[in-house]
Amino acid sequence: MKNFKIALAQFSPHIGNIENNTQKMIEQANQAKQQHADIILFPELSMIGYPAEDLFLRPSLKKRTEAALAELSKVKDILMVFGFVHHTEDGQRFNSAAVMKDGEILGIYNKQNLPNYSVFDEKRYFAVGQQHLIFEYLGHKFGVLICEDIWSLDTVQQLSQLNVDSVLVLNSSPYEVGKPQHRLTTMAKVAKELNLNLIYSNQVGGQDDLIFDGSSFAINRNGDIVLRAASFKEELYYVDFDTEQAAYTKQTLAPELDTMAEIYQSLVMATRDYVQRSGFPGVILGLSGGIDSALTLAIAVDALGADKVQAVMMPYTYTSQISVEDAAEQAKALGITFGIAEIHPIVNSFMQTLYPFFGDRPADATEENLQARARGTLLMGLSNKFGNLVLSTGNKSELAVGYCTLYGDMVGGFAVLKDVYKTIVFELAKYRNSISETPVIPERVITRPPSAELRPDQKDQDSLPAYDVLDAILYAYIEEDSSQADIIARGFDQATVEKVIQLVDRNEYKRRQGAIGPRISSRAFSRERRYPIVNGWKAGI
């Protein structure tokens, strides 16, 4: 046995772009070689990126993969372990890891545990692997596992019984609040109990609604954490195995993030990756003087830089003076492009056209929606003309109960706060102000009572319960799948609970047409909460 060095590639693939990803893997392998690494470990499916969804099914994937393998085989003098889609001769398709050295594939491991719950659909795409892969290298015995495998006690136990020293784990494990710490704590226990060194490399980057946090790590078989990588950054990390200690030696431990820092950074990365990988020159958003758009703006600026961000304030009769002031103040503080566009003439022209149809029907939400849709159309006009992506500014609480206008404030390609409850929006705003010398979100935006300003003296709390109550009910119903009866039994007001749940159920159609946005919870309104629109469930029963 000799000393050796492993590079952990906390890799950010461009989903589907096999050619570029492969080139980047080659560059990173060469870089690791220069640092005298003996092995480089990439994340799960690093070649195509995770999740490539139905691209996994395209017949031409096999040919593309073969071409990429040919490219990778040119890398010499470093052992590479990377993820790829493995098409076998009998027509099966696996989520696999290849062990390659000097152009030779020394072994292929097919993932044995395919998650098919939550955001995962792996049984749609892959056949189940049936056996372990073990290889000896540099006098050390390695096993290979892929993501879900390491969470299956059976699977890991089998490896441990094969006297493996170190397990190389390829991962594309999506982020949710607290997940980086949860992984680490759980895996330290697994390492210790099963007496295995764990080298865990995780994908990083935003992909549509999914965030991959990276947060890769290495843990010695005694449970000691020897490497903790930063979250939300693409980077190469290294761990050294020392034969005398028969263990990996301590490396950098990135500081643990507290919850708001973690969420904030996750949203910044998700926004940056979505905008840049979609090829937009910048973003535009409507600034209302309220906290949601203020926070979205701060995130956009942190993600892209002030020069890439444009905001428009679109006041109407019910917009208060302080809203205009606060919006302008924030825009100035951040140094972004800012404009004001009055919407009176537009709303009036809609009213004029619609009145003959409306007859003497009283005013209702229809008129409020016209304001929101006038704004949405203006934003889209600016987006179409200049090419900037519209960021949608709604939060999870609003979207849950439908307190938002389809084709109005819901326009946009990316909804930054889509999975952030309103109570957390406030926390994030305070957090963001706490990390810079001068606040980037005017204090008054945080402290004034929230209002959509769509009718005189309107407050959100005229239509909705207080946000701490609303969010608690929503969390119980959405994240915890609690029934109406259970939530009422916890002490919430019956009528309030009934109303909130009815709103959630009824507004599935709105959410289905909303922009995607980054998932930070364990039950985002995205691919992991699949509810029918026509739905006779009746929560009350």
Catalytic residue among 44, 176, 368, 453: 44
Helix axes 259-277, 291-304, angle to 10 degrees: 70
How are beta strands 389-392 and 414-415 bridged, if at all? parallel
Q: Which residues pair with 84 in a beta bridge?
A: 96
484: tokens are: 């109406």
> Measured from the CB atom, is 128 or 138 closer to a copy of itself?
128
Q: Which of 153, 354, 466, 495 binds a copy of itself (CB under 8 A)?
A: 354
Q: At closest approach, how far in Å is the CB of 364 from a copy of itself?
A: 7
Residue 286, marked binder: yes
Residue 504 in contact with a copy of itself, rule: CB under 8 A = no
Q: At closest approach, how far in Å is the CB of 127 from a copy of itself?
A: 12
Number of residues forming the site for a copy of itself (CB under 8 A)? 83
265: tokens are: 């950074």
Distance CA 236, CA 498 (A): 51
Residue 208 in contact with a copy of itself, rule: CB under 8 A = yes
Residue 172: half-sphere exposure toward Cβ, Cα within 13 Å: 31
Q: Which of 430, 410, 428 is nearest to 418 (CA)?
A: 410
> Measured from the CB atom, is 68 or 440 closer to a copy of itself?
68
Residue 526, marked binder: no
Does the annotation count 329 as an active-site position?
A: no
Instruction: Give the x/- contact pattern for a copy of itself in 444-483, rule: CB under 8 A.
Output: -------------------------------------xxx
Residue 55 in contact with a copy of itself, rule: CB under 8 A = yes
Residue 74, marked binder: no
> Which residue pairs from 239-244 have beta carbons closer than 8 angstroms and sit at least 24 positions apart in sequence?
239/5, 239/6, 239/8, 239/199, 240/3, 240/4, 240/5, 240/6, 241/3, 241/4, 241/5, 241/6, 241/140, 241/166, 242/3, 243/1, 243/2, 243/3
Residue 378 in contact with a copy of itself, rule: CB under 8 A = yes
Residue 30, marked binder: no
Residue 30 in contact with a copy of itself, rule: CB under 8 A = no
The torsion angles phi and psi of 64, rounded to 5 degrees, stand at -60, -40
Q: Which of 358, 462, 463, 489 binds a copy of itself (CB under 8 A)?
A: 358
Residue 369 in contact with a copy of itself, rule: CB under 8 A = yes
Cα distances from 242 to residues 194, 215, 238, 301, 511, in angstroms, run 20, 23, 13, 44, 53
Catalytic residue among 111, 308, 396, 422: 111
Distance CA 407, CA 428 (A): 27
Residue 20, marked binder: no
Q: Using DSSP, state whether 531 is helix, strand or coil.
A: coil
Helix (H) or strand (E) holding 188: helix 179-194
Q: At closest approach, how far in Å is the CB of 361 from a copy of itself?
A: 6
Residue 117 in contact with a copy of itself, rule: CB under 8 A = yes
Please name the residue that has the structure tokens 């909130």.
500
Q: At closest approach, how far in Å is the CB of 165 from a copy of itself?
A: 35
Q: Which of 409, 327, 410 is nearest to 371 (CA)?
A: 409
Residue 195 in contact with a copy of itself, rule: CB under 8 A = no
Q: Which of 99, 37, 100, 76 is nearest to 251 (CA)?
A: 37
Residue 393, marked binder: yes
Q: Which of 36, 76, 124, 182 binds a copy of itself (CB under 8 A)?
A: 124
> Measured from the CB atom, is 2 or 537 closer to a copy of itself?
537
* Interactions with a copy of itself, residue window 64-83 (CB under 8 A): 64
> Measured from the CB atom, is 277 or 455 closer to a copy of itself?
277
Q: Which of 366, 364, 386, 378 is nearest to 287 (CA)?
A: 378
Does the annotation count 147 as an active-site position?
A: yes
* Interactions with a copy of itself, residue window 286-345 (CB under 8 A): 339, 341-343, 345
22: tokens are: 């492969």
**Binding piece for a copy of itself, criterion CB under 8 A, among 36-44, 154-162, 293-301, 357-365:** 357-365
- Max CA separation in the chain (angstroms): 89
Residue 494 in contact with a copy of itself, rule: CB under 8 A = no
Residue 288, marked binder: yes
Q: Which of 134, 136, 198, 135 is nearest to 167 (CA)?
A: 198
Residue 289, marked binder: yes
**Binding piece for a copy of itself, criterion CB under 8 A, among 140-148, 160-168, 298-306, 359-367:** 359-367
Does the annotation count 404 as an active-site position?
A: no
Q: At closest approach, how far in Å is the CB of 282 from a copy of itself?
A: 14
Distance CA 515, CA 414 (A): 5
> Measured from the CB atom, is 87 or 448 closer to a copy of itself?
87
Residue 16 in contact with a copy of itself, rule: CB under 8 A = yes
Residue 261 in contact with a copy of itself, rule: CB under 8 A = no
State the catalytic residues. 44, 111, 147
Residues within the annotated binding site for L-glutamine? 117, 173, 179
Residues within the annotated binding site? 117, 173, 179, 286-293, 369, 393, 398, 510
